[in-house]
Amino acid sequence: MGEQVIASTIVPETDASGSLDGMDAERDERCRGAGGTGAGVAPDRHGRDVPDSSHDEAADRPPRPLGSRAPRFVKASRPLHLSWQVGVFAVGLAIVGAGIVLLPLPGPGWLVIFGGMAVWATEFIWAQLILRWTKRKVTEAAHRAMDPKVRRRNTAMLTIGLLVIAAGVGLWVSNFGIRMPWQVG
């Protein structure tokens, strides 16, 4: 596995799709359109044709190179760059920590966690790779969710679930009635 040094950090080489040394063969095959039924359509991992995200406008742009996005004057001085990295890590850790706290509480926990990951991705390659993978998976899930078969299945499951809940509430009310909290005594 080849390596390159960026700002005195050892970085694994990546190909144009951002995967490590072309290790993401599934995505590479979809990007080439192998097995697809037409332009902009490629098979997913189950063999179903889904819109290929590699034909989006954002996917037509080459991915940003991996590495630090610190200003040049910061990169020029090793102690300053190290301090910058520590600061970025601390800010990202605080944001990710707040997101973890928000997970069980009402609030956008996952959104805050990914915001912290985005802060880390400005400086750390591992966070950039995680964010690229996450964006790719979210895009694929969004395309799968728009598939008519999946939408019909989800609608049927929701309807059945609501009917089961309504039957349970109906049984409860028929057996115990409705009592307001202030009338319990």
Kindly state whether residue 181 falls inside one of the protein's structural domains: yes
Q: Which domain holds residue 59?
A: 1-67
Q: How many structural domains comprise the chain?
A: 2
* Residue that terminates a domain, selected from 50, 67, 84: 67
> Residue 141 pLDDT > 80, yes or no?
yes
Contact (Cβ atoms closer than 8 angstroms) between residue 42 and residue 53: no
The amino acid sitting at 153 is R
Contact (Cβ atoms closer than 8 angstroms) between residue 148 and residue 95: no
Which has more pLDDT, 134 or 69?
A: 134
Kindly state whether residue 51 falls inside one of the protein's structural domains: yes
Give the SS3 label for residue 168.
helix
Kindly state whether residue 103 falls inside one of the protein's structural domains: no
* Listed residue (134, 136, 131, 132) closest to 44, CA to CA: 136
Kindly state whether residue 105 falls inside one of the protein's structural domains: no
Q: What is the pLDDT of residue 50?
A: 58
* Residue that terminates a domain, selected from 24, 47, 67: 67
Kindly state whether residue 131 falls inside one of the protein's structural domains: no
Kindly state whether residue 116 falls inside one of the protein's structural domains: no
Q: What is the pLDDT of residue 29?
A: 45
Q: In 103-124, which residue ranges form alpha helices assigned H by DSSP?
A: 109-121
Kindly state whether residue 28 falls inside one of the protein's structural domains: yes
* Residue that terminates a domain, selected from 40, 67, 94: 67
Contact (Cβ atoms closer than 8 angstroms) between residue 55 and residue 39: yes
Distance between alpha carbon 181 and the CA centroid of its chain, in Å? Answer: 43
> Residue 96 pLDDT > 90, yes or no?
yes
Which has more pLDDT, 63 or 24?
A: 63
